Amino acid sequence: MDAAVSPILISLKTASASILTTFFLGIFAAKLVVGIRSKTLKMILDAVLTLPLVLPPTVAGFFLLYLFGVRGPAGRFFLDFFSVKIAFSWGATVLAAVALSFPLMYRSARGALEQVDPALAHTARTLGMSEWRVFWQVSLPTALPGVAAGGVLSFARGLGEFGATAMLAGNIAGRTRTLPLAVYSAVAAGDMDTAYRYVLVIVAISFAVVALMNYFAAKGAKP
């Protein structure tokens, strides 16, 4: 793999793998929280699920390293039973991206689901639809523009993750060096031309993300 192209491919693979996980986890968590009637329990669970969003990325990375490092409980479990080392592997870049982008997906999905007219779900129930059918065939399609916008935002967050990735996955060329880490490495080495090229790639992708978010926002605003 070309050394110059490697960070771009690693970042795209990482962001794609993370959004496949984050998208469904975020929707499931949002459905769970929206369905809770206790305001106190809802507030506590919401705070726990949103916490990675407000923590400094390096602190979130520290907790991930504690859990999934070779001496951590989860890391030791995977190493002992599956001979899989998570820390400082490509999988660690995905794990870091999932952990940091999940709150964005969750909050976007929750906000979209909470805006669905309850009368629609009530009507579907009177027609004999189960709760899961009501969710998948009525609530989720209605909330889809907001959910999709959250997915796009989460993809971008996973693509741009730096702090937690550096803590858990390291900065290994050709293996865990993502675009943000490649920019940092190029600047640290004084290779500004390479840094400029990587920055242009990130800006181009970010611009596309903003355009997609605006598209879904406009689609969701239509009567």
How many other C-beta atoms lie within 10 A of the C-beta of residue 132? Answer: 9
Output the DSSP codes for 110-146: HHHHHTS-HHHHHHHHHTT--HHHHIIIIIHHHHHHH
Tokens of 161: 């993750």
- pLDDT tens string 128-140: 888 888 898 899 9
- Residue pair 15/100 in contact by the 8 Å Cβ criterion: no
Could you tell me the pTM of the whole model?
A: 0.91
Alpha carbon distance 104, 52 (integer Å): 10
Alpha carbon distance 198, 112 (integer Å): 34
pLDDT grade for 221, boundaries at 50, 70 and 90: low
Whole-number pLDDT of residue 214: 82
- pLDDT tens string 50-71: 999 999 999 999 999 999 999 9
Task: Give all domains of the chain, ordered by start, each with its CATH number.
Answer: 6-221 (1.10.3720.10)
**Where are the alpha helices (H) located in 35-89, listed in sequence order?**
39-54, 57-68, 73-82
pLDDT grade for 1, boundaries at 50, 70 and 90: low
Any residues with CB less than 8 A from the CB of 111 and at least 6 apart, and which? 146
Whole-number pLDDT of residue 128: 85
Any residues with CB less than 8 A from the CB of 158 and at least 6 apart, and which? 14, 15, 18, 19, 22, 97, 98, 100, 101
More confident of the two residues 130 and 75: 75
